[in-house]
């Protein structure tokens, strides 16, 4: 059963981590061919599963107080570290990888149950506490769980409740993944509201982003977005133009025309 982390993690996060790992494992076990390509990625199904198993293990070790180096926090270095780690890990079969993904997600929860939740840890995406690390773990599994579901032509596991649990990580990570090329000289205030709850503010000051749970005073642009669309867009799986055309993203305010540019300011690892 593992450690009881109720009261340690945000409500619903532990259950979401367990459920998402289990649903990814179920998808894998039903995969007819782990050598099949994954749309939008250079990896096969087996390589994607191996990456998930490795990432879950890394986050479990970090949560247990054993720091692991994995790039320098920039998208380019994390991508390079991912490829290096995959090359050194030969397992590509569905059953052992499915078991590893579930086991290592549980290992993260066990580590959280045995250590202070508010202790600052060093992670591939910078310093964060164990609760935010759990949000990171969930975000990573949801992004690649979506990729896996697409590759296997099966329903994905993203939903409004799980997306809400990714916000602590997203808010902390966004300044780190700001694209200096597209934000150079930018000064603007955004309020972002997810349908059904969840919100955050982003203020750019001469290209530097400040992100927080509170909305800025007098935002230049308010963005209202369907939650699953938000996560897919944030992770580079969904084009802003198509989402706006389908009515899943709305923008208004003193400068509504800066709404469609918002996703261009960030580069997902």
Residue ranges per structural domain of the chain: 13-168, 178-265
DSSP for 15-29, written as a single string: HHHHHHHHHHHHHHH
Three-state DSSP state, 119 = coil
- 15-19, 62-66, 86-90, 237-241: range with highest mean pLDDT: 15-19
Q: Is the pLDDT of residue 255 over 60?
A: yes
Contacts of 63 (CB under 8 A, 6+ apart): 107, 108, 111, 112, 115, 121, 130, 133, 134
Average pLDDT over residues 195-208: 96
CA distances, 73 to each of 43, 125, 126, 127, 268 (Å): 21, 5, 6, 10, 11
If pLDDT is split at 50, 70 and 90, which confidence band does 33 have? very high
* Least trusted range by pLDDT, from 17-26, 77-86, 236-245: 236-245
Q: Is the CB of residue 138 less than 8 Å from the CB of residue 164?
A: no
Please tell me the predicted confidence (pLDDT) of residue 82. Answer: 92
If pLDDT is split at 50, 70 and 90, which confidence band does 74 have? confident
CA–CA dist 95, 184 (Å, integer): 47
Please tell me the predicted confidence (pLDDT) of residue 8. Answer: 82
Please tell me the predicted confidence (pLDDT) of residue 4. Answer: 61
Please tell me the predicted confidence (pLDDT) of residue 6. Answer: 56
Please tell me the predicted confidence (pLDDT) of residue 60. Answer: 97
Domain 178-265 matching CATH 3.30.1050.10: the answer reads yes
Fold of 13-168: 1.20.120
CA–CA dist 200, 168 (Å, integer): 10
Average pLDDT over residues 50-71: 93
If pLDDT is split at 50, 70 and 90, which confidence band does 114 have? confident
Model confidence pTM above 0.85 = yes
* Least trusted range by pLDDT, from 104-108, 143-147, 245-249: 245-249
Q: Is the pLDDT of residue 116 over 60?
A: yes
Please tell me the predicted confidence (pLDDT) of residue 161. Answer: 97
Would you call 227 exposed, middle or buried from its count of C-beta atoms within 10 A (0-12, 13-18, 19+)? buried
Please tell me the predicted confidence (pLDDT) of residue 106. Answer: 98
If pLDDT is split at 50, 70 and 90, which confidence band does 267 have? confident
């Amino acid at each position: 059963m593992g450690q009881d982390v109720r009261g340690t993690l945000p409500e619903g996060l532990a259950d979401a981590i367990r459920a998402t790992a289990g649903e990814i494992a179920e998808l894998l076990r039903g995969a007819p061919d782990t050598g099949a390509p994954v749309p939008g990625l250079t990896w096969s199904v087996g390589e994607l599963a191996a990456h998930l198993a490795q990432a879950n293990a890394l986050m479990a070790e970090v949560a247990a107080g054993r720091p692991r180096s994995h790039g320098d926090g920039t998208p380019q270095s994390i991508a390079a570290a991912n490829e290096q780690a995959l090359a050194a890990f030969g397992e590509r079969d569905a059953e052992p990888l499915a078991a590893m993904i579930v086991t290592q997600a549980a290992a993260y929860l066990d580590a959280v149950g045995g250590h202070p939740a508010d202790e600052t840890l060093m992670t591939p995406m910078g310093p964060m506490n164990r609760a935010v690390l759990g949000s990171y773990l969930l975000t990573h599994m949801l992004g690649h769980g979506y990729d896996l579901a697409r590759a296997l032509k099966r329903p994905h596991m993203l939903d409004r409740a799980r997306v809400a649990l990714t916000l602590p990580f997203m808010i902390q990570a966004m300044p780190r993944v700001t694209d200096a090329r597209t934000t150079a000289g930018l000064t603007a205030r955004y309020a972002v509201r997810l349908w059904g709850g969840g919100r955050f503010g982003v203020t750019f000051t001469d290209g530097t982003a400040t992100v927080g749970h509170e909305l800025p005073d007098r935002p230049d642009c308010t963005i209202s977005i369907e939650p699953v669309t938000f996560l897919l867009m944030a992770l580079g799986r969904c084009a802003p133009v198509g989402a706006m055309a389908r009515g899943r993203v709305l923008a208004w305010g003193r400068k509504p025309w800066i709404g469609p540019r918002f996703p261009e300011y960030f580069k997902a690892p």
